[in-house]
């Protein structure tokens, strides 16, 4: 069985959370730069708790060492207080390249 290896260093700019503030009647987009600061290839993926409201482009990919990608994170317009959806959040996950990962991509 393959040994699990922790992911390499991933940096983001901005390095803190982003917050979508009112008004919510227009679509808002922020850009996040994801940087692979490690010496190995890594895969990244973005998860969101509310796919109807939050969108990320591109949602996943592979970064070579020292490579970066610019992600567009968008919050669609919605009527605040009139939805039954839970609060939205997203997370960046990373994984070092493994043999099975290379075959999948």
d(CA 32, CA 91) in angstroms, rounded, equals: 12
How far, in whole angstroms, is CA 73 from its chain's centroid?
A: 8
pLDDT of amino acid 104: 34
Which pLDDT score, from 0 to 100, does residue 31 have? Answer: 94
Distance, in Å, from the CA atom of 28 to the CA atom of 47, rounded to the nearest integer, reads 18
For the chain, what percent of residues have pLDDT higher than 70?
A: 68
Residue 86: pLDDT band (50, 70, 90) is low
| Per-residue pLDDT reduced to its tens digit, 16-67 | 888 877 777 888 899 999 999 988 898 888 887 777 788 899 999 999 999 9
Domains, the chain, ordered by start: 10-79+95-104 (2.60.40.10)
């Amino acid at each position: 069985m393959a040994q699990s290896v922790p992911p390499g260093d991933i940096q983001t700019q901005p390095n803190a959370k982003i917050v979508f503030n009112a008004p919510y009647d227009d679509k808002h987009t922020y850009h996040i730069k994801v940087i692979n600061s490690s010496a190995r290839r890594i895969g990244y993926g973005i998860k969101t708790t509310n796919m109807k409201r939050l969108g990320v482009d591109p949602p996943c990919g592979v970064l070579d060492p020292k490579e970066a990608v610019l992600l567009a994170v968008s919050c669609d317009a919605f009527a605040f207080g009139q939805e039954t959806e839970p609060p939205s959040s997203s997370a960046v996950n990373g994984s070092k390249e493994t043999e099975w990962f290379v075959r999948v991509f």
